[in-house]
Amino acid sequence: MISREELRRLAEFECRLPNELAVTFYFQPGTPKDKSHREEAIEAKELVRKTLQELEVNGRSREIISDLQRILRLAESLHGNQARAKAVFACSCRKLWSEFDVPAFAAQTRLFVNRRFHLKPLAPLFSEHPHLWVAVVDRHSARFVDVYFDQVNAQSSIENSISRRGRSDGYAGYDAGHAQRHSEDEVRRYFRNVAEFLKSAAERKQFEALVIGCHDLNWPEFERQLHPDVQKKIIGRFSEDLGALSDEKAAAEANRILRQSLEQHHTSLLRETLDQARSNGRGVTGLRRVLRALELGEIDTILMSLNYSARAVECSHCRHLDSHLVPYCSVCGRSTRQLDDVCEALVRTTLKNSIALVLMPPDDSLDRVGNIAALLRFRADRNTNHLLAAS
């Protein structure tokens, strides 16, 4: 898996000489069940071949051709049961070749040849993948599964001591009533132990988000025992048959809940941003205003539609970005160069400055404001008095 640091390092990369080119290749295999899997590999090869031909016709340098030939050989080896999606970043002029496994949803088989690497599909990766734990809890035992991207690791488990003794008391004999109460106390004590374990795991930052697998009947009793800090991290619960549930199935449930919760979060983030923009508060819309806010260091989160792309110019000297395609920089007066897609510069800045980037599915309200908006941390043009007056 690619790491946050590697992603940042790739974002810093930029070709300096006119002859240099940065190649980005994403390969998305079909699922093992998917019959079109072979076709995916063939498609990938075709894609590289076509680009190779175009570049050869245009008389491009030997280095870029050799990068693409190497990617072609890789694509050719990707048939069979290649389960993982891949990303390759190459620039042989600068002796750079990096190959990573990436989560399947981030990739779509694509090839980009540009001055920077195409990192947009990977930019939201880390903010959308918190360290996730699933706690599967019934009246007899609790187990904890760590889910991080597609890695699933069982953590420790806790057993109800009464289950360990065989649960014989309370189910037979004339003292059944007493044993029943005794057993209820045991369950409460056991739930408390589980809650205590989760609290200390949260304190040690072993998870950032928590999904609970717990039957509806047990949930209220268990929930009461949970510390508020643990409750805050819960993003959802499921309650299917927990006894037969494998760790992988629990992880799949947790990932489903995570995606749902992210979707809801993004929708409300968008609504908040647009409301804030309408009232001239902590929100801006449209590329021009987003670029301005970015340069002022105001931005908390950029929201753009998944396929957003726009031309812009970038100052070759001070890096000022302008949505108007002006030949000279409005800040320092030096010459600008045109960017086919402003996202390549935007993504670099978001990664460098730890600004969250949310790629939204098609949305009418975002479309109406130009498919890009940003939620701000503050507004630089407002002094403290204004802020106080507004609050």
Q: How far is the CB of 9 from Zn ion (least distance, A)?
A: 25
DSSP-assigned beta bridge partners for residue 113 = 23
- Distance of alpha carbon 258 from alpha carbon 188, whole angstroms: 29
Nearer to Zn ion, 331 or 390 (CB): 331
Total residues binding Zn ion (CB under 5 A): 7
The window from 105-113, 182-190, 265-273, 328-336 that contacts Zn ion (CB under 5 A) reads: 328-336
- Distance of alpha carbon 179 from alpha carbon 188, whole angstroms: 14
Look up residue 330 and give its two tokens. Answer: 């409005």
The window from 112-120, 152-160, 290-298, 316-324 that contacts Zn ion (CB under 5 A) reads: 316-324
Q: How far is the CB of 301 from Zn ion (least distance, A)?
A: 26
The SS3 of residue 199 is: helix
Nearer to Zn ion, 273 or 336 (CB): 336
Q: How far is the CB of 332 from Zn ion (least distance, A)?
A: 3
Nearer to Zn ion, 11 or 315 (CB): 315
The window from 24-32, 265-273, 291-299, 325-333 that contacts Zn ion (CB under 5 A) reads: 325-333
Nearer to Zn ion, 73 or 317 (CB): 317
Binds Zn ion (CB under 5 A): choice among 296, 318, 326, 387: 318
How many other CB atoms are found less than 10 A from the CB of residue 341? Answer: 18
The window from 139-147, 174-182, 291-299, 314-322 that contacts Zn ion (CB under 5 A) reads: 314-322
The window from 47-55, 67-75, 299-307, 332-340 that contacts Zn ion (CB under 5 A) reads: 332-340
Binds Zn ion (CB under 5 A): choice among 257, 303, 329, 347: 329
Q: How far is the CB of 154 from Zn ion (least distance, A)?
A: 54
What is the H or E stretch that residue 374 is in?
strand 372-376
What is the H or E stretch that residue 308 is in?
none
Q: How far is the CB of 10 from Zn ion (least distance, A)?
A: 24
Name the amino acid, one letter, at 231.
Q
Q: Does 295 bind Zn ion (CB under 5 A)?
A: no
- Distance of alpha carbon 161 from alpha carbon 138, whole angstroms: 13
The window from 145-153, 185-193, 305-313, 330-338 that contacts Zn ion (CB under 5 A) reads: 330-338
Task: Look at phi and psi of residue 319 and say left if phi exceeds 0, alpha if psi is from -120 to 50, else beta.
Answer: left
Q: How far is the CB of 321 from Zn ion (least distance, A)?
A: 10
Q: How far is the CB of 343 from Zn ion (least distance, A)?
A: 20
- Distance of alpha carbon 343 from alpha carbon 312, whole angstroms: 9
Nearest Cα to 230, choosing from 263, 253, 207, 262? Answer: 207
Binds Zn ion (CB under 5 A): choice among 154, 325, 332, 380: 332
Binds Zn ion (CB under 5 A): choice among 84, 188, 292, 320: 320
The window from 26-34, 115-123, 220-228, 326-334 that contacts Zn ion (CB under 5 A) reads: 326-334
Nearest Cα to 150, choosing from 168, 162, 132? Answer: 132
- Distance of alpha carbon 54 from alpha carbon 288, whole angstroms: 34
Q: Does 176 bind Zn ion (CB under 5 A)?
A: no
Q: Does 331 bind Zn ion (CB under 5 A)?
A: yes
Which positions from 201 through 230 interact with Zn ion, judged by CB under 5 A? none
Q: Does 315 bind Zn ion (CB under 5 A)?
A: yes
- Distance of alpha carbon 357 from alpha carbon 123, whole angstroms: 7
Which positions from 22 through 61 interact with Zn ion, judged by CB under 5 A? none
Name the amino acid, one letter, at 43.
E
Nearest Cα to 69, choosing from 86, 55, 85? Answer: 55
Q: How far is the CB of 52 from Zn ion (least distance, A)?
A: 36
**Contact by Cβ (8 Å): 211, 236:** yes
Q: How far is the CB of 339 from Zn ion (least distance, A)?
A: 14
Q: Side-chain half-sphere of 8: how many Cα atoms within 13 Å?
A: 9
Q: How far is the CB of 260 from Zn ion (least distance, A)?
A: 44
**Contact by Cβ (8 Å): 341, 310:** yes
Write b or e for each residue in 126-165: b if 16 or more Cβ atoms lie within 10 A of its Cβ, otherwise e: bebbbebbbbbbbbebbbbbbbbbeebeebeebebebbee
Nearer to Zn ion, 259 or 311 (CB): 311
- Binding footprint of Zn ion on the chain (CB under 5 A): 315, 317-318, 320, 329, 331-332
